[in-house]
A and B are shown apart, each in its own frame.
Chain A
Amino acid sequence: MELVLKLMILGFCVGFPCFLGYTVVRAICPHIRSAWSAGLSFCVGSGLITFWIFVLGMLKAPLTIAVINWPLLALAAMLFILRRPGRVVALEHNKRVRFCKLNMLDFRIWISGAVFLTLLFVVIEAGALQTYVWDSLSYIAFNAKVIFFERSFQYNANLPHPSSPMGIPLLQFWFNLNLGYWSEYFIQAPFPIYFISLLWVVWSFLKEHVSDRAAWIGIFLLIAANLPVYHAAIGYMDVALSLCLCSSILLVFEAVEKRDDRLFGVAGLCAGLGVWTKLEGAAFVLIVAVLYAVLECGLKKERFKLRSMLKRLVFFGAIPVLVFAVQWVYKKDLGLLLFAGRFGLLGFGEAMFRLKLFVLKATESMFLPLNWNVNWLMWVAGLMLTPFYKNKLSAYLCLGIFFFWAAWSGCFVLTNNFQFMNAVLSRAILQFFPLVVLMNAICFDQFVFHEQKKTKDNAG
């Protein structure tokens, strides 16, 4: 009976953010594809819940279930009732769901099996590992535990890593608040769901932009990379940040393609959640904004309009700026600085020396086979073998990867973060790794499947 009750509470902790996130995404952009709103639902819902807890904590309101959950339940119900119906797309005759015999030679069956096995591993491992990894013990779960037992923010200035955003610790706090006591299992629950959401987002984007076979290969490339799978089972924040950033980048592309300004709002929401997840998320918002500007100015064939571009940038940047500003004001009030002690000017010689070490370490981190399997090798092969620059999406993603590399190289070479480079570079790559997988899938679609189709057509 106790187990059933716990499972029901866990179901609420997962289901409620999904429902809230789904209704909010639909409210911002009613015509967004269902796959997008479903994939982003947990991420958006949990981000809103934790931001609401943060606001309550700042205002010194009591952090109880009633104060936190009831207003949000009311908001979700209201948005659900007032929702505008999206376009209902009738299934075409040849796309109707059909039950057919399983063909064991069909590679999709094997990839589905691999996805199932990976998710099973992630869920079991997340339960088995509990809190043992360094960052989690040191400050993520620790900060959540302090807030859980104190039920207030009064000691926040004394917490370890006080400048770190509170999104994930507050989510862990909320999971255990609903349960009523501190459970090592409940604080692990959000991480596999972030990973599943990431798979969903990558899958739904690929389904829209490449052939079915290439989409399956893309998913396989992602789940066969070890580091993202391992991170899905431990209490680190990089998979969540990766989900927010990649969703934001992909939504910006879709928004420009479909000329849907409301999609910029959803992209901005995702970027804001990135700022709310990790400190570097703030810098990455700038990357997404620059990517948008490049897409609008350089990659789009239509005439460039500065005014509409600025309007969209404001629409995109409003939520990230708000999230950053609220955090900044709060930390300032506590007497903390957001990037304290992280910046310092270097001499040219020292910077060159660091750059050399960075390039060596980056090469090792990219091609170290078990972090990413052979994804980076495949990416390099794709760059050399295919005219990726002719495909707008490929060029956009490649530019995104380049910007992320540039940002991280600047961060490690020019600032005091150099001392952490050996430890965290692979995790830094993880934050934009889904873009590499997407590029590989597109390369396959363009180069292998497209060529095969051409060969068949010629033979026909």
Chain B
Amino acid sequence: MMKFLKLAFIYIFCFFAVAWVCGYPFGEALKTIPETMVAASPNKVRLAPLPNGVNPFFILIVSFLLGSLIVIVSAALNQERQEALQRCLVGMVVLHSLFAGFQYAGLVSDLDKDFDMRGWHLVKVGNYFSGPQNPKILAEQIKIMVFPRTRLKLDFRSDLSFERDPNFYLLRSLSYHLYPIDIRNIRPGEFDGALLMGVADLASAVPSEYQYVFPLGRNDAIALKEGLDSRR
């Protein structure tokens, strides 16, 4: 056990020594490194660089090399050369644990941001669905406007391009949250109306066969066929 603790101390000491050389003394490193470890997306978990541009992975690699050098030299001096490589492998696990510790600290601080701990109020959903597009809120707004018609099929029209983000995401998100109001042509048959979004000239964009127009914003509206007006 003492051997392991000694080994852990060497590698952890090397890590913080390298961090210090890179401009992050012990306390600063403990505070700053966890903040770089929360940039997750479904395709990769990015490691953000530290504020002065140094990548924490660079610190990890250099500290591993430094720690391993110390371990190999001390093993050679103590006539324990056979064990040196095993100790390096254990050292890698020590650094893995240290990184995992930072990662847990990052997760906890991330959760703290997502929840208002005093009232157990969830703010993350609000964060994800806020912003200029607001797809979930917009979907709820549309559902309320056309109530009690819940199974409409709407023709989605826009002057914007939906080939790239953020509009690409907006359309998918809106169509998910709107369903069973169908804007992705899932159900065959005629349209019951149109959903106009980001249309420059709204007045001329509303097709003549649609009569009831509910404005959603300056460039957005819902137009429904005659007989589908919910407020009559």
Chain A interfacial positions (CB closer than 8 Å to B): 105, 114, 117-118, 121, 124-125, 128-135, 137-138, 141-142, 145-146, 149-150, 155, 158-160, 217, 220-221, 224, 226-227, 230-231, 234, 236, 365, 368-371, 373-375, 377-378, 381-382, 385, 423-424, 426-427, 443-444, 447-448, 451-452, 455
Contact = CB atoms under 8 A, between A and B. Distances in A.
Contact of B99 (A114, A118, A138, A369): A369
B176 interface: yes
A145 B184 contact: no
A141 B177 CA distance: 10
A371 B60 CA distance: 15
A186 to B, nearest CB: 15
A371 B41 CA distance: 10
A176 B115 CA distance: 26
Interface stretch (B19-27, B185-193, B206-214, B215-223): B185-193
Contact of B114 (A105, A128, A226): A128
Contacts of B37: 226, 370
Contacts of B188: 155, 158
B158 interface: no
Given A137-B176, A158-B186, A444 B89 contact: yes
Interface stretch (B69-77, B122-130, B141-149, B194-202): B122-130
Nearest to B129: A132
Contacts of B42: 133-135, 230-231, 234, 236, 427
Q: Which 4 A-B pairs have the closest CB atoms?
A: A224-B100, A226-B45, A370-B45, A149-B180
Contacts of A427: 42-43
Given A128-B125, A369-B57, A451-B86, 11 more contacts: A135-B42, A145-B179, A155-B186, A158-B186, A370-B37, A370-B46, A375-B96, A426-B44, A427-B43, A451-B82, A452-B86
B18 to A, nearest CB: 15
Centre residue among A221, A375, A448 by max chain B CB count within 10 A:
A448
Contacts of A378: 89, 92-93, 96
B140 to A, nearest CB: 12
Contacts of B44: 227, 365, 368, 371, 426
Given A133-B42, A370-B37, A447-B86, A155 B187 contact: yes
A193 B97 CA distance: 25
Given A124-B111, A128-B125, A447-B86, A141 B97 contact: no
A381 B97 contact: no
Nearest to B174: A137
B1 interface: yes
Nearest to A375: B96
Given A129-B124, A369-B47, A221 B176 contact: no
Contact of A423 (B43, B128, B185): B43
A146 B60 contact: no
Contacts of A129: 124-125, 128
Contact of B104 (A114, A130, A365, A448): A114
B118 to A, nearest CB: 16
A448 B172 contact: no
17 contacts: A114-B100, A118-B104, A128-B125, A130-B125, A137-B169, A138-B172, A141-B176, A142-B175, A145-B176, A155-B187, A224-B103, A368-B47, A370-B45, A373-B103, A423-B43, A444-B89, A448-B86
A124 B114 CA distance: 10
A91 B179 CA distance: 55
Contacts of B160: none
Given A373-B100, A374-B92, A426-B44, A121 B124 contact: no
A141 B90 CA distance: 43
Contacts of B57: 369
A426 B124 CA distance: 25
B172 A137 contact: yes
A133 B173 CA distance: 9
